Amino acid sequence: MTSEQPETRAEDVLDAPEETIGSEPTTAPSTDAGTVQADTTSAQGEEWMEEYEAEKKTKKPRGKIPHLLGISIAVAIVLMLVIWTLLSPHVLPTSGETYLRSPTYANLGNYSGDLDIRWLLNAVHVADTTWGVSIAGSPQVSSGDVVTFNVLITKVNEEMKNPWFVGTSIKVKDAAMFTEDGTQVGTMVGRSSERFGTIAEIEATFDSPGNYTCYVYTEITIYGKMLVGYVPVKVLRMTAYLDADMIVT
């Protein structure tokens, strides 16, 4: 006899329940959550890649900025050095004792003294110099009148000691006239530069008649001119007594 087995239809196989050994059945919601998590991870990865690629693109122009900045700084430094050199004062020439003995510039008296110029806490020996003060004016004045005296400051001698420095120049900061007891009778009212030195103009007044022993005080700044630029190297103060008393009538 032939037994007939019932036909198994495709619909019956598809409808048959599935079993998984050793694990819980996977439900539709968990599958959806996994899909969402994967999508989120993928989105985060794309966002990170976009940020990383954008940062890489900005590195190229940044590499040029330091290069251009370096060129700009170098050009600015060169321009500053050129301007610094062009603004340097002219080197004052030496004049020996010519103006110290001149009846025109030193009829009332003169003074000269040596100065060893050292710079940067005496680390740089700039020059050995000699400076002079010549005083000119009237030896006899009237009390109460304003009288003018000319004080000429010159470079008597100079020997440069450093190859970086080519010479020195000066600027008169102050000049005044005092009596022997320290009373100030005159102040600087102007100054003028000559080829051979600087003349400080002092106006003085004596209040009462008599004979006065007087001296002139000067303060100058000495500048050292270099191959490139210049720097102040010394402040020099000098006192020069008049050869004879001032006669005030």
Half-sphere exposure of residue 219, counting CA atoms within 13 Å on the CB side? Answer: 7
pLDDT digits (tens, 9 = 90+) for 84-111: 888 888 999 999 999 999 999 999 999 9
Nearest to 197 by CA among 104, 108, 127: 104
* Contacts of 157 by beta carbon, 8 Å cutoff, 6+ apart: 94, 96, 129, 130
Q: 134-171 burial, b if ≥16 CB within 10 A, otherwise e?
A: bbbbeeebeeeeebebbbbbbbbbbebeeeebebbbbe
**Amino acid found at 106:** A
Q: In the predicted model, what is the mean pLDDT of residues 52-57? A: 54
Looking at per-residue pLDDT, the higher value among 59 and 79 belongs to 79
Find out whether 136 and 106 touch, Cβ atoms under 8 Å: yes
CATH code, residues 109-248: 2.60.40
pLDDT band per the 50, 70, 90 thresholds, residue 55: low
Model pTM score: 0.70
Predicted pLDDT at 9: 47
Res. 204: pLDDT tops 90: yes
Alpha carbon distances (Å) from 170 to 62, 100, 175, 230: 49, 18, 14, 12
Predicted pLDDT at 46: 54
Predicted pLDDT at 82: 84
Q: In the predicted model, what is the mean pLDDT of residues 16-43? A: 47
pLDDT digits (tens, 9 = 90+) for 160-192: 999 999 999 999 999 999 999 999 999 999 999
Query: Among 32-36, 190-194, 204-208, 234-238, where is mean pLDDT lowest?
Result: 32-36
Find out whether 91 and 160 touch, Cβ atoms under 8 Å: no
In this structure, the dihedral spanned by the alpha carbons of residues 139, 140, 142 and 143, taken in order and rounded to 10 degrees, is 60
C-alpha span between 74 and 81 (Å, rounded): 11
- Expressed in angstroms, the distance from the first to the final Cα of the chain is 173
